[in-house]
Amino acid sequence: MIPQGGTVHRFILETFASTGHAPTLEDIQATLQLASVEEAEALIAELEEKGCVHRKAANRTVTHAYPFSNEPTQHRVHLAGGPQVYAMCAVDALGMPFMLRRDAEIHSQCTHCQAAVTVHIQQEEVTHQSPASLVVWLPTVQGTCVAATDLCPSLNFFCSAVHLNQWREAHPEKRGEMLTLEQALGHGRSTFEPLLQEAAA
């Protein structure tokens, strides 16, 4: 019997959290005792259709499983007791510790000046942020979109509202809003804290 998609989704998220990268189709087949790689492929295709994961065209490997990226991004998350993983955007990075219920150190950069950005989350609280004036840009996307390609690349940290506004002046075509770190943390928590439980349901 083929496991339900939720079982596969949870396995993908847990593999990212323990290894820092996506499982292969062969990993999924072996762990879930599927009859063939094709059955694993069919389950991934089902998750992709639902928007749970994303793959590049003509590539069977999971490229993104929100909030994780299988490719390097500017948002690196060092999980307590685990590996470094890549988050797809600033909000994904902030939500990851709540989904996994683990402390984490987030390392990224200001999109305007490329200065280093760090956020430490311990016991579900921000215990350190640098710089103190850190903000997040939340883009507005018109109509339906693929978050991995249409939203996440622009959902980034800025070291201050001043730098965000300077960036906006240089990119007048961009639409969205500025979030405080507290607001961005709230978005990340509400989006990702229930994800593993939902994947198991």
70-109 pLDDT per residue, tens: 999 999 999 998 899 999 999 999 999 999 999 999 999 9
| Residue finishing a domain among 47, 63, 79 | 63
| Residue linked to tokens 């709540």 | 98
In which band, very low, low, confident or very high, does the pLDDT at 199 lie, cut at 50, 70 and 90? low
Q: For residue 3, what pLDDT is reported?
A: 43
In which band, very low, low, confident or very high, does the pLDDT at 201 lie, cut at 50, 70 and 90? low
Do residues 54 and 102 share a domain? no
| Whether the Cβ atoms of residue 122 and residue 103 lie closer than 8 Å to each other | yes
Q: Identify the CATH number of the domain in which residue 92 sits.
A: 3.30.450.410
Do residues 88 and 121 share a domain? yes
**Does a structural domain hold residue 164?**
yes
Is the bond preceding residue 139 a cis peptide, omega within 30 degrees? no
**Does a structural domain hold residue 121?**
yes
Do residues 120 and 57 share a domain? no
Overall domain count for the chain: 2
Token representation of residue 92: 């994904």
| Whether the Cβ atoms of residue 27 and residue 8 lie closer than 8 Å to each other | no
What is the C-alpha separation between 170 and 152, in angstroms, rounded?
Answer: 20
Do residues 119 and 158 share a domain? yes
Q: For residue 59, what pLDDT is reported?
A: 80
Residue 190 belongs to what domain range? Answer: 69-195
12-71 pLDDT per residue, tens: 999 999 999 999 999 999 999 999 999 999 999 999 998 899 998 778 889 999 999 999
pTM, 2 dp: 0.91
| Whether the Cβ atoms of residue 36 and residue 29 lie closer than 8 Å to each other | yes
Do residues 23 and 119 share a domain? no
Do residues 115 and 190 share a domain? yes
128-175 pLDDT per residue, tens: 999 999 999 999 987 676 777 788 889 999 999 999 999 999 999 999
Do residues 10 and 39 share a domain? yes
Do residues 48 and 142 share a domain? no
In this prediction, residues 177-187 reach a mean pLDDT of 97
Q: For residue 1, what pLDDT is reported?
A: 35
**Does a structural domain hold residue 108?**
yes
**Does a structural domain hold residue 112?**
yes
Say which residues have a Cβ less than 8 Å from residue 48's Cβ, sequence separation at least 6. 54, 55
**Does a structural domain hold residue 23?**
yes
Q: Identify the CATH number of the domain in which residue 52 sits.
A: 1.10.10.10
Q: For residue 119, what pLDDT is reported?
A: 98
Do residues 42 and 85 share a domain? no
**Does a structural domain hold residue 201?**
no
